[in-house]
Structure 1
Amino acid sequence: MKLKPKQEAQLLKEALRVGAIYVDKRGAGQFEATDSASKKISLLYQLLVHDQLITPLNNAQATEPNMKHKLALWIYRQLPDDHPLKTD
């Protein structure tokens, strides 16, 4: 699936928002205001892989931009069809 850069950035923001709730409810910790975006992305990606909610990237592809893309795709699939982030 090809996402537009602006759309992917907005989806990533939503993924981190929803992901923070998931991390907390899952009992895997919680995001702190002082946590960097990189730390949040890595933690959420690793937890979703561990819980088998997304497929892992191979080691050579496990870069932050690819993790961001995976998280954007994950949240995109969770949103209802009429959600504003699913429209162009």
Structure 2
Amino acid sequence: MSKTAKLENEDKLFKKALEVGTKIAAMQGYTLTNQGTTPSMKAKAIYLFLVEVNQITPLPADKCDGKNIRKRLALWIHSALPDDDPLK
């Protein structure tokens, strides 16, 4: 897959990435609460957690914004899903 290619189900993949990322963080002892956090804050927290545990490569500092974090999380879960998953 090309780095610039648009993922077909990017919104659904992003939601799945938030769900899976939250579960992985909880299994590692991190609690990401929904209370008082915006979706973009939660996405950044999950992104930073996944970078810390070496699940994804960090974005360059000048590209670390909401749109790029969203894309990176969607790409991460896309590569982690089995080939027969309906989101692929």
Structure 1 residues not aligned, in runs of 5+: none
**Aligned length, in residue pairs:** 85
SS in 2 for 1:84: coil
Q: Which residue in the other structure is 2:25 paired with? A: 23
Q: Which residue in the other structure is 1:71 paired with? A: 73
SS in 2 for 1:29: coil
Q: Percent identity?
A: 36
Question: Structure 2 length as normaliser, TM-score?
Answer: 0.88
Alignment partners' CA distance in 2, 1:15 and 1:80: 14
Q: Which residue in the other structure is 1:47 paired with? A: 49
Compared CA separation, residues 54 and 34, structure 1 to 2 (3 A)? same
Paired letter, 1:27: G
Question: Structure 1 length as normaliser, TM-score?
Answer: 0.88
Structure 2 residues not aligned, in runs of 5+: none
Counting helix residues as a fraction of each chain, which structure ranks higher?
A: 1
* Deviation of the 1:33 alpha carbon: 4.7
Alignment partners' CA distance in 2, 1:30 and 1:62: 20
RMSD: 1.4
Which shows bigger deviation, 32-41 or 14-23?
Answer: 32-41
